[in-house]
Amino acid sequence: MATTDDPATGESEPDARFTYANERTFLAWNRTALALIATGVAATQLLPEFHVNGGRRILGLPMIGLGALVAGSRAGLVYNTWPLMDGRFAPPFDNLTRLAPPWRNFFENIDLVQLDHRLAAYALLAFALWHAFAAWRVAPGSKAAKRAMAVAGMVAAQAGLGIMTLLLAVPVWAGLLHQAFAMAVLSMATVHRARFSF
């Protein structure tokens, strides 16, 4: 690691570039974690009731858990291409399953963690658009339909911010913007769910 020497004290400090790189890494972890946690909360709050008791939670809670796990990986700093991951829809299968025992790949393999994040983001965007369309079809012009459209627009904007952040290799300003907007999306989705009625 590069250091800078202070001739007056004889002490050395780490190069500031390493501090900034660590900060970007930290922001990437948190941004991805917030997005996954927001997906899980949205799934548990916004999806219609399933025929299976607790079905929304069965779907949403693993996303929240995955968000917490992504916070400890460097998944936001690899595959800085979109829509493909370095020319492929997904990394080679061998890359996705290289850790043993196999379950570790879901938590520690940054290739699989980023693929999971991308797929979860696509699914959340598709669900938000479907929900907005369904709400507008059932009660066009209602407050609930307008809120559903706003949530869908915010999720689409969040996806755009995520793509931009990834393509720019997670600069601090983009990571902060993406994190802040994730909280805004989660807040809007929570308000929409609390007031949802036609």
For 112-137, what is each residue's pLDDT tens digit? 888 888 888 898 899 899 999 999 99
List the Cα angle 96/31/144 in 5-degree steps: 110
Written as one letter, the residue type at 93 is F
- Of residues 132 and 181, more confidence is placed in 132
Would you say residue 184 has pLDDT above 80?
yes
What pLDDT does 1 receive? Answer: 45
The CA–CA distances, whole Å, from 16 to 2, 21, 76, 97, 179 equal: 9, 9, 21, 36, 23
What pLDDT does 69 receive? Answer: 55
Would you say residue 180 has pLDDT above 70?
yes
Residue 123 neighbours by CB under 8 Å, 6+ apart: 39
> Are the beta carbons of 166 and 115 closer than 8 angstroms?
no
Cα(76)–Cα(18) distance, integer angstroms: 17
Instruction: Choose the most confident range, by mean pLDDT, from 61-65, 164-168, 188-192.
Output: 164-168
Using pLDDT thresholds of 50, 70 and 90, give the confidence band for residue 186. Answer: confident
What pLDDT does 140 receive? Answer: 94
pTM over 0.75: no
Q: Is 5 helix (H, G, I), strand (E, B) or coil?
A: strand
Cα(109)–Cα(95) distance, integer angstroms: 8
Using pLDDT thresholds of 50, 70 and 90, give the confidence band for residue 108. Answer: confident
Residue 1 neighbours by CB under 8 Å, 6+ apart: 14, 15, 18
> Are the beta carbons of 79 and 96 closer than 8 angstroms?
no
